[in-house]
Amino acid sequence: MTIAAVRVGSPANLDTLLPATAADPGQPGQGQIRVKLQASSLNFHDYAVVSGMIPAAAGRIPMSDGAGVIEAVGAGVTQFEVGDLVVSTFFPDWIDGAPPATAFRGVPGDGIDGYACEAVVTPEHWFTRVPVGYTAAEAATLTCAGLTAWRALFVDNAIKPGDTVLIQGSGGVSVFALQMAKAAGARVIATSSSDAKLERLKALGADELINYKENPAWGMKALELTGGGGVDCVVEIGGAGTLDQSMMATRVGGHVALIGVLAGFAGPIQTGFLMAKNLRVQGLTVGSRAQQLAMIAGIEANGIKPVISDHFPLVNLADAFRHQIANKHFGKIAVDI
């Protein structure tokens, strides 16, 4: 028997990312669960895989995020029952503590097959529960984007009421960071090149807005908006191309959560900022299973729901990525399986 899937082509690009099939995973064994997948969501990491930016084996089933209903449980499973709605973890074997050195080898949709398919059988710890009241599509936004924002603010940092957070753009991580920071009582400065998107960010609670096309030196503008003191934390999505502005915007002793590479993988950095301001610039890649469960508890306590601007069926996954790279989305793009 086979199930529907989408596979990375050879060479890897959106034109070769086509509907295919996969072997039915069968019934779960000891400690395993079978999940009927209902949704995934797009991240830049997924695009990097399907476009060939990150090398992956030809025929790889992409997508790191997956949510669905448990169809069967194997012997010894204690955390779930048939019928439970569950969501995947980005690093299946990073349970808690420091990230293991081998973490990336097992990322679904990258090192191993992912969730662009109808069903999977995995160890039970590869999934967690979902927030009460969430749909599968909403849950699928948490694996990568939601947890990345959570870790930036509350694991690698300790954002508290009265702090100021700067977010870049209106993608999934940034919108989650805005929602979470506001729930924690923080002030949020949002940047974007689109006035229309800035207004949408304002509607979600952003306190100050900067159009970085109109203000290329937006780090100085952020300093002005904080009375010259600087922000406590920047959720840095751009990478090398925007890091100098982020460091300019940050207060002495502040934190830059280095998450993305949208504005470049490498480039010259003004290290003088790091020393003069005693900054902590910390790279991060998603988080552990324990952090995901903590995030889910925080989401439930504050009633946070993800912002999903678009839905695409699995067979149109390539079109979903085209929509993403055209920057037509706001928040998350969901894939319905």
Residue 253 lies in a domain: yes
Domain span holding position 216: 157-283
Per-residue burial over 56-67, b = 16 or more CB atoms within 10 Å of its CB, e = otherwise: beeebbbbbbbb
Domain co-membership, 22 together with 89: yes
Query: Degrees (nearest 5) of the Cα angle 232, 251, 282?
Result: 65
Q: Give the model's pLDDT for residue 267.
A: 64
Prior bond of 108 cis (ω within 30°): no
DSSP state at residue 315: G
Residue 149 lies in a domain: no
Report how far residue 67's alpha carbon sits from residue 138's, in angstroms, rounded to the nearest whole number. 9
Domain co-membership, 279 together with 163: yes
Strands 164-168 vs 231-236: parallel, antiparallel or unpaired: parallel
pTM: 0.95
Domain co-membership, 135 together with 33: yes
Residue 152 lies in a domain: no
Q: What is the pLDDT along the chain (337 residues), one digit of tens a residue?
A: 999 999 999 999 999 999 999 999 999 999 999 999 999 999 999 999 999 999 999 999 999 999 999 999 999 999 999 999 999 999 999 999 988 887 778 999 999 999 999 999 999 999 999 999 999 999 999 999 999 999 999 999 999 999 999 999 999 999 999 999 999 999 999 999 999 999 999 999 999 999 999 999 999 999 999 999 999 999 999 767 789 999 999 999 999 999 965 444 566 677 777 788 898 999 899 999 999 999 999 999 999 999 999 999 999 999 999 999 999 999 999 999 9
Residue 295 lies in a domain: yes
Domain co-membership, 237 together with 296: no
Domain co-membership, 107 together with 232: no
In angstroms, the Cα distances linking 258 to 105, 149, 238, 239 are 21, 11, 8, 7
Report how far residue 335's alpha carbon sits from residue 314's, in angstroms, rounded to the nearest whole number. 6
Residue 316 lies in a domain: yes
Domain co-membership, 17 together with 138: yes
Task: Write down the residue that tokens 């090149």 correspond to.
Answer: 193
Task: Write down the residue that tokens 């689109």 correspond to.
Answer: 194
Specify the number of domains making up the chain: 2
299's tokens: 């989401």
Residue 150 lies in a domain: no
- On whether the CB atoms of residues 56 and 49 are closer than 8 A, the answer is yes
In angstroms, the Cα distances linking 207 to 130, 159, 178, 324 are 30, 16, 10, 26
Domain co-membership, 7 together with 136: yes
SS3 of residue 126 by DSSP: helix
Where a domain ends, among 243, 264, 283? Answer: 283
